[in-house]
Amino acid sequence: MQGQLTQAPTLFLPTSPADAAPRHLLDHHSTSDMSERDATTDENVVVRPWPTRPKEKLEAIELYTQLIQLDAERGHIQNITEQTLREEIDRGRQASQDDPMEGVEDGEEGEDAEEEVPTREKKLEELEAARLALISKSEFAQFYARNTLDLFALILTKDPTKGVNASFSEMIKKEGVPRGSFAVSRQKEGPKKDWEYQRDRYEQDRVRYASKGSRMHALESAADTLLKAATQLENDVQKEVKYWDEVLSISDKGWPLQRLRRGGRPSSTFAVRYGFREASSHFQGRGLAPLRMDDDGSIILDPSLSLKPKTLRIRVSENGKITGTSRLSGLKEATETAVEKTIQLARDSLFEEEIYHELCIEARQLFGYGVHVQNSIVQLDIPTFSRSTSSEDSRRQILIDCIPLDHEPTPADDHNSDWLALTIAEALRLFLAHEHNMRLFRRSQPSRKRHLGPNEHRTPPLLRTILAMLSHIRGLNSLQFHLSSLSTTLGSAGLPSTLSVTGEMSLNRLTSLLSKSRKQGLTPIDQILNLAVKPLDGLATLTLPSITSDSDPEALKIAICTFLAEPTNGTEFKVTLPPSLVSVLNLSPDQKREFKFPSVEETTSYIDFLVSLHLSHTLLRERYTRAMPAVSKDPIVSLEVKEGKKVYRKNVEVNVTNGRLTVAMLRPSLFPYTNEGRALERTWEGKKEGKTFWEAVDAFLA
């Protein structure tokens, strides 16, 4: 489109260098155009206004327009002086006479020389020139935009429905340009000149080459992006394959896996549960570790698992010397870095820490049984398993603590009690695992069978069971040793006797107990361990000597019950009397035949007394018909002896003490039921030597 001016002031529209045609295309212009271009020394193409009549005085708008044009050509007006204009004229004349390239080279050398030594004043001048150029260009752009807006506004004034009065600039308003003075018409474009065709073809080639280059650059960038994406995808696939291989390896080893939850929703991160679901509340939260992916795809476990694993150490101390320990050098396997091994070590360490935690809590309740905690060591005072009930027991302690797995073991003074330390360590682990299974069993029961209350998560009886077993074994061993020596002594005296000892009665009927158990959900191992936390019952049966072997011998039964709770609170011995001794002691029919004792010393002393009564008041009276007891409830019997026509009475005493049998004939005193001393005596200590019991008595009466 081309605007036609009907009545308007002169508008100066200088063009920018971008609007100028290429120099090689302008060579095809007319001669007048060429001479006009050669006359200009600036690169900018100046569009000259239409010639006007000379005026003596310029108006304000004309002066303003010329100042803008001067600013666009020369820069800011403050840099223009008469001297600079004269120097420019002289340089132009000299440049036309001399070689133009020489001036250019000199100018370049001068610029290089000036650039070699920049000064502060030079930099300030450059900054000021750049600032002025910026201001000039902004004013020039503002002038163009204002003129364009005024032009379009004048064109739109042809339509009276358009309200464009507010769009006019102040200069147009002051000029008073009539509305509708500009019109727009469409005209056919005339024939193009050769240089215009070449210019258009050049522009088309530029656009085509630029488009092709842009497409090639875009395709190259897309190829690089796809290559990077493929490489990243390959790395991600390798990482995922490695990660899931390790996850499957962990799952194949039997470790339970589960997804972590974030915000109530399951996330993509898996976690391995290496703890025990039935552990105490303090350890339940520590039994779960997320399986995060490392940069190379391997699994990164929770930082808490990288801590040093711990283990339970059991030591046996006798009189201040370590005689046994459960820490052996073969347990040092913490140097492996496999994921499965790390999880296993973490599981074992957590289990050992839970045992130690439960032991510390239980130790507060067993202070009266010689259990206390000192310097993070649980100490148990236990008696030695001395086989003699009369000897004084040395001080023996069980020391329990939790140490790092790579801790250097303390050298022991002796290793005689290693078996005891290892046995206690394994027993503690079995009892805690059994408690976990029992908690699961109780939780799985129907609501009507569950016993909800404080016992639902009670402290497991670990130390209580160990102390009960040690006390039971000690009492049983001491009793068995005493009865065995007593049976041997009686046999050496010609009084045959048999001994039968059962350490735990429930083990004898274990098959029937397992078959008749109502707890069908428990495994046989748990049912057996469940018997260990109950009262321990043992039985020792000693057959008493008899005169004839055909008769059914009477037996002395000693029951042993150990339970560290009400009503026993320790080891209790219950002696059941045979019928013969009931008559000897003159017990009433409604009186109990069972006598309970709290210690093994009292029990063995009473057993010796009963055997002495049996030998004196039962066997001697059966063999010697005229025998009569000299003192009631004492192992002394009075026998009649004939010497010619005279009849004498001799008192015979039978005494059994600590496996030693003594039979003696006493000298009668002037006072009834008293004796002055022993006239003859014979002793048996288990060796088959000399006379028998009956031969010795016959010799006393001869």
Please report which confidence band the pLDDT of residue 550 belongs to, taking 50, 70 and 90 as the band edges. low
Does residue 269 lie within any of the structural domains?
no
Please report which confidence band the pLDDT of residue 447 belongs to, taking 50, 70 and 90 as the band edges. low
Does residue 654 lie within any of the structural domains?
yes
Average pLDDT over residues 502-517: 73
Q: Both 410 and 551 in a single domain?
A: no
Does residue 307 lie within any of the structural domains?
no
Residue type, 131: R
Residue 16 has pLDDT above 50, yes or no: no
pLDDT above 70: percentage of residues in the chain: 73
Q: Which residue has the higher pLDDT, 236 or 649?
A: 236
Q: Which residue has the higher pLDDT, 532 or 482?
A: 482
Residue 545 exposed, middle or buried by CB count within 10 Å (0-12, 13-18, 19+): buried
Q: Both 537 and 514 in a single domain?
A: yes
Alpha-carbon gap, residue 332 to 314, rounded angstroms: 16
Give the CA distances from residue 512 to residues 507, 518, 535, in Å, rounded to whole numbers and listed in that order: 10, 12, 18
How far the first Cα of the chain sits from its last, in Å, is: 168
Give the CA distances from residue 661 to residues 294, 388, 439, in Å, rounded to whole numbers and listed in that order: 81, 17, 54
pLDDT at res. 50 = 54
- Look at residues 190, 220, 236 and tell me which one is the last residue of a structural domain: 190
pLDDT at res. 263 = 63
Average pLDDT over residues 320-345: 69
Does residue 231 lie within any of the structural domains?
no
Tell me which DSSP letter residue 392 carries: P
Q: Both 385 and 496 in a single domain?
A: no
Residue 106 has pLDDT above 80, yes or no: no
Token code pair at residue 87: 């120097």
Do 665 and 700 form a contact (C-beta atoms < 8 A)?
Answer: yes
Residue 397 has pLDDT above 60, yes or no: yes
Average pLDDT over residues 582-587: 80
Would you list the DSSP string of 41-63?
Answer: -SSSPP-PPPP----SS--HHHH
Q: Highest mean pLDDT: which of 24-33, 61-70, 580-589?
A: 580-589
Does residue 276 lie within any of the structural domains?
no
pLDDT above 90: percentage of residues in the chain: 20
Q: Both 417 and 505 in a single domain?
A: no
Q: Which residue has the higher pLDDT, 130 or 110?
A: 130
Q: Both 449 and 480 in a single domain?
A: no
Q: Both 478 and 427 in a single domain?
A: no
Residue listed under structure tokens 């010689």: 370
Q: Both 449 and 542 in a single domain?
A: no
Q: Which residue has the higher pLDDT, 569 or 465?
A: 465
| pLDDT tens track for 206-219 | 999 999 999 999 99
Residue 338 has pLDDT above 80, yes or no: no
Angle subtended by helix axes 462-492 and 418-443, to nearest 10: 130
pLDDT at res. 677 = 54
Does residue 575 lie within any of the structural domains?
yes
Alpha-carbon gap, residue 498 to 490, rounded angstroms: 10
pLDDT at res. 422 = 92
Alpha-carbon gap, residue 295 to 243, rounded angstroms: 10
Alpha-carbon gap, residue 636 to 651, rounded angstroms: 7
Token code pair at residue 29: 């212009």
pLDDT at res. 429 = 92
Please report which confidence band the pLDDT of residue 7 belongs to, taking 50, 70 and 90 as the band edges. very low
pLDDT at res. 167 = 84
The lowest-confidence range among 165-179, 318-332, 364-378, 535-549 is: 318-332
pLDDT at res. 432 = 92
Does residue 687 lie within any of the structural domains?
yes
Average pLDDT over residues 42-61: 57
Residue 334 has pLDDT above 60, yes or no: no
Q: Nearest to residue 524, comparing CAs of 437, 397, 641?
A: 437
Name the residue range of residue 326's domain.
316-330+348-453
- Look at residues 143, 166, 190 and tell me which one is the last residue of a structural domain: 190
Do 442 and 619 form a contact (C-beta atoms < 8 A)?
Answer: no
Please report which confidence band the pLDDT of residue 518 belongs to, taking 50, 70 and 90 as the band edges. low
Alpha-carbon gap, residue 432 to 463, rounded angstroms: 11
Average pLDDT over residues 135-147: 92
Classified as helix, coil or strand, 421 is helix
The lowest-confidence range among 179-183, 267-271, 414-418, 674-678 is: 674-678
pLDDT at res. 217 = 93
The residues, ordered by sequence, that sit 6+ positions from 310 with a Cβ below 8 Å of its Cβ are 349, 352, 353, 402, 403, 404, 405
Q: Both 29 and 62 in a single domain?
A: yes
Residue 222 has pLDDT above 90, yes or no: yes
pLDDT at res. 527 = 83
Q: Both 564 and 441 in a single domain?
A: no
Residue 386 has pLDDT above 80, yes or no: no
Please report which confidence band the pLDDT of residue 27 belongs to, taking 50, 70 and 90 as the band edges. very low
Q: Which residue has the higher pLDDT, 394 or 453?
A: 394
Would you list the DSSP string of 85-126?
Answer: HHHHHHHHHHHHHS-HHHHHHHHHHHHHHHHHS--HHHHHHH
Please report which confidence band the pLDDT of residue 547 belongs to, taking 50, 70 and 90 as the band edges. confident
pLDDT at res. 158 = 83
Residue listed under structure tokens 């100066």: 12
Tell me which DSSP letter residue 691 carries: -
Helices (H) and strands (E) in the chain — how many of each?
18, 21
Does residue 71 lie within any of the structural domains?
yes
Residue type, 351: F
Token code pair at residue 444: 């799985």
In whole numbers, what is the pLDDT of the chain averaged over residues?
A: 77
Q: Which residue has the higher pLDDT, 559 or 182?
A: 559
pTM over 0.75: no
- Look at residues 143, 175, 190 and tell me which one is the last residue of a structural domain: 190
Please report which confidence band the pLDDT of residue 24 belongs to, taking 50, 70 and 90 as the band edges. very low
Residue listed under structure tokens 């347990």: 331
E strand or H helix at 464, and its extent? helix 462-492
| pLDDT tens track for 641-682 | 666 667 677 778 888 988 888 888 776 644 444 455 556 788
The rounded Cα 176 to chain-centroid distance in angstroms is 88
Q: Both 394 and 494 in a single domain?
A: no
Please report which confidence band the pLDDT of residue 267 belongs to, taking 50, 70 and 90 as the band edges. low
Q: Both 446 and 472 in a single domain?
A: no
Q: Which residue has the higher pLDDT, 38 or 405?
A: 405
Q: State how many domains the chain has.
A: 3
Residue 45 has pLDDT above 50, yes or no: no
Q: Which residue has the higher pLDDT, 592 or 400?
A: 400
Residue 327 has pLDDT above 50, yes or no: yes
Q: Both 8 and 137 in a single domain?
A: yes
Phi-psi group of 522: left, alpha or beta (phi > 0 → left; psi -120 to 50 → alpha; rest → beta): beta
* Cis amide linkage into residue 9, ω under 30° from 0: no
Angle subtended by helix axes 194-252 and 339-363, to nearest 10: 50
Backbone angles phi, psi at 95, to 5 degrees: -70, -30
Average pLDDT over residues 180-188: 79
Average pLDDT over residues 604-630: 80
Q: Nearest to residue 606, comparing CAs of 585, 630, 591?
A: 585
| pLDDT tens track for 358-373 | 999 999 888 888 899 9
The residues, ordered by sequence, that sit 6+ positions from 92 with a Cβ below 8 Å of its Cβ are 41
Would you list the DSSP string of 329-377?
Answer: GGG--TT---HHHHHHHHHHHHHHHHHHHHHHHHHGGGGGGTEEEETTE
pLDDT at res. 229 = 96
